[in-house]
Structure 1
C-alpha cells in the first residue's frame, strides 16, 4: 500500500498530529483523508495491497493500512534549520543521499542503530532525511522500510510518496520525514523488536514516475523512544515561524 499526501511545511505542522488515527484501526481523519494515518497531511492513498491510508494536518505520510504496494503522488515538504548531535551536511556527498534526523540532516552508515520513535497514537517510525544535488527546489520522494532478506515490504508496512520541499544551499536537503514501521498498539504481532535489521530505502522520481535516483541503507532498530516535538539550538532559526522551538524552551 502507498500513502499519498499533500502537505504544508513539516516542522510547523507535524507536531499537531503524529500517529493520528492509527491505520490498523481503519478510522477516519479530519484533514481530508479517508482512512487512518500517522501524522498524515490530508490526502488519499490506495495501493495494490487492498487498503488505504490518509492523514490530516501534518506532513508525514499515513500510518497503518494493509500490506502491498502501489503508486501514488502527493506534495509535501520540510523546512527549517536543525541543530544537535550528529547534525551537519556530509562532506563529499553523493548526488542523492538518505540519512536520518528530526531537525537536521545526519549521515548514517550501514549497520547504524536508529532509535524507534513511538507516536502518541501508538504507531512507530524512523526519522528519514534526504539530500539531492540535482533535484531543484523539491524532490518527488518514494520511501519505505523494507526487509533486507527479501527487499520487499514487511507485512502491514506501507510505501510512502510525496513531493518534498528542499532547503536551498550547497546541498539541497530535507529532514524530519517519518518512515513508518509496521505494527502498532493495534497490531502488536507486527511490531518489529529491537535489534531487527531493516532497509531504509528511498527513490527520487521523475514527473513520469521513472526513477531518477535511488539509495538505501541497512540499519538496526534501536530502543523505542516516545516522540515529542523536536527542538533546535540554532538561535537564528529556532522559534521562528515554520521552524522548531528552541531547546531551552522545551521542558
Structure 2
C-alpha cells in the first residue's frame, strides 16, 4: 500500500525525488527524538571523534620521532602502551554512548521483540568481525604496530579480511548499531552514523600512510638484495 508521498514515475517505478523525500522525512522524524544539545549526547560525539584522532596523531608522531619507543625501551612495549590507552578510551566512548541513549527518548516503532532481535544479531555479528580481526592481526597489528616499526610479513587475507575491508571498524560500527536498535534509541542511531563517518575519515587517512610504510619496507628489501 503506497503512502501519500509516493508517486510512480513514467515507467511505473518510483522517482529518485520520492526516495529523497522519504529519506528526508525519516531523518526529520529521527531527529525529532534527539536533543543534540544534551550534555551526554555532546560528550558521546566528542568521545567518538577523539579516539581515532588520538591514535592517529600519537602513532604518526611515534613513526616520525620514535619518542615512545625510546621512552618505553622498545617499540613493542610502546605499542602495548598505546593499545592499552586506546582500549581505555574505547570503554569511555561506549559508556558515553550508552549514557547518551539512556538520557533521551525511545522510539516506539523500534521498541519490540523483532527489533530487539535484529539489534542483537547486529551486535553479535559485529562482535564476530571485531574479535576475528583482532585474532588475525594480533595485538600489535591491531594497534598500529606498523607505525612503531613492527611490520607484518604479509598482508592478512583470511577471514574476516577475505569478506570485508577494515572489518574491525565496520564490525565496531555494527556493534553500536545493534546496541542502539536494542535500546530503541534514535540518539543511538544518530551516534552510530557519527561513528561510521568518523571511521570512514580515519580510513582515508590511515590506509595511504600504512601503504607508504610497506612500500618503504619493500624498497629497502630490494636494495639489500
TM-score (norm 2): 0.23
User: Per residue, is there more helix in 1 or in 2?
Assistant: 2
TM-score (norm 1): 0.22
Report 1 or 2 for greater relative contact order, CA contacts < 8 Å, sequence distance ≥ 6.
2
Bigger radius of gyration, 1 or 2?
A: 2
User: Per residue, is there more strand in 1 or in 2?
Assistant: 1
